[in-house]
Structure 1
């Protein structure tokens, strides 16, 4: 069972400038909370409590100030830095000591998911012992993403980065589950023409071994891209509409921690008081009374 995960929250956020000249992309707001809270909530909902966050040296203090060591949420957060963008597989090299030759999950710091439900397919991903799982979803613009082609048993046939002629419309969303070999394989990779280690090359190692499978988001699950200012606004509007209709917050870390049993009612009340004077704090107080 995978018990560890890495959130890769590096990069320069070039497409979101000048916003990212002021604050790192992963701390930009998606409606009422920082973007980074969404992938962290995803991991917490998957039952993963031991998490390494990799960010840039200049953003480290701000990210740590926002989340701390995770103890207030009943989880363990550690931090490492990536000096320059070196590609997704570099996360496994930076996190080698943290991974400690165990299976691990990787999620991108801008990965925004709205779960319809956590169904049994995640149990299979989290139980990986040999091989890897790559998570995909349908997209109308396959040329913009890494594209997964599968057979009828969801064994991956090919993984292609932003293909000119896509073989499918299944995009890799940036959520991966790997066995204990991942750091070893990441160290074997050579940088691509753009000077980075490519996640597609890593996945192709597993593919050549016949050990790469794909899992797909259910139709009740929404994956949101926040790579541009317009998509950032779309994501905020999406969550505002749902939260206004339901009266329930999405990816509220404190509530997730409480619902998952990571913290108790008195701890939730204490967290609510730390947001005193805000609607967020009042919401947590209400949830503690349920």
Structure 2
């Protein structure tokens, strides 16, 4: 399975903080925002990842993440020249995916749950069609809204409806088979000029190949699209790490848990940051 992170957003809703740097590179508490979706892909045991970046930002991402070899994975990069919507990531990533199954995740979404690996394993188990998630929110109108019955059968899916049919929205992580590329090629831009990922999901629904996994209430999810949500996400990460003792979005730890890197490699990564709590945490994992 391949992984794609769409990290090409300029973050205009976060100006002026994102004027000198794109949104996925800004910090959320103690690590860059991009660490969080990258860790989720690692939790799905994906080790071949494409990061789609804005024009002119390739060097910044490469300076931070390199080619992924330090994590025992492969990271490559492609530019999204013009922001054309989430579904455009499927077209940009066509050659990379090479007709394999894929997980597409947004570069500004943060997910955390102690059982997230199990949840990802459930999603990865589908060999055909698409898997989306459902997250309950108070006001679903700004999002893609999904309606489903008590058996988990998806009944409808709508983008930013004025009158939502449910309080469940589709957060920014999607599992697809290779049909997604063909579907994306047939899309026409919406009224806001974008290729909507909701239209991809709606086509899977029409084909009766769309499965939903409702998130448990304990799942932490943030769309870090504005200053308030960014602050709340940072506070949630800090609280979890202080109270629970486990780091959120720690890609080095997850790579180590997966067996992608050894004890020695993890310790070296921690040693390179031994003046920080983050580095000390990595070294402590090996020391027990």
Structure 1 gaps of 5+ residues are none
Structure 2 SS opposite 1:53: strand
In structure 1, C-alpha distance between the alignment counterparts of 2:92 and 2:123, rounded to whole Å? 23
2:154 matched to 1:163?
A: no
* Alpha-carbon distance, 1:221 to partner: 1.2
**For residues 123-162 of structure 1, what are the alpha-carbon distances to aligned partners after superposition, in whole Å with 9 as ceiling and x for unaligned?**
3421222211111110001112110011232221111111
Match of 1:243 in 2: 241
In structure 1, C-alpha distance between the alignment counterparts of 2:218 and 2:187, rounded to whole Å? 36
TM-score by length of 2: 0.96
Match of 1:178 in 2: 176
In structure 1, C-alpha distance between the alignment counterparts of 2:181 and 2:268, rounded to whole Å? 39
Structure 1 SS opposite 2:57: helix
Distance 1:119 1:232, change over 3 A: closer
* Alpha-carbon distance, 1:120 to partner: 4.8
Moved more, 244-253 or 145-154: 244-253
Structure 2 SS opposite 1:57: coil
**For residues 158-200 of structure 1, what are the alpha-carbon distances to aligned partners after superposition, in whole Å with 9 as ceiling and x for unaligned?**
1111111110000110111111111111101111122211111
- Corresponding residue to 1:142 among 140, 159, 166: 140
- Corresponding residue to 2:232 among 226, 229, 234: 234
In structure 2, C-alpha distance between the alignment counterparts of 1:206 and 1:46, rounded to whole Å? 22
In structure 2, C-alpha distance between the alignment counterparts of 1:114 and 1:184, rounded to whole Å? 31
Number of aligned residue pairs: 288
Check conservation: 2:43, 2:120, Cα contact below 8 A.
Answer: no
Structure 2 gaps of 5+ residues are none
Match of 1:197 in 2: 195
Check conservation: 1:117, 1:220, Cα contact below 8 A.
Answer: no
Match of 1:215 in 2: 213
Match of 2:279 in 1: 281
In structure 1, C-alpha distance between the alignment counterparts of 2:264 and 2:119, rounded to whole Å? 34
Tell me how large the CA RMSD over aligned residues is: 1.3
* Alpha-carbon distance, 1:119 to partner: 6.3
Match of 1:15 in 2: 13
TM-score by length of 1: 0.95
* Alpha-carbon distance, 1:255 to partner: 1.3
1:71-86 counterparts in 2 under 5 A? 71-86=69-84
Check conservation: 1:103, 1:128, Cα contact below 8 A.
Answer: no
Structure 2 SS opposite 1:22: coil
Moved more, 30-39 or 189-198: 189-198
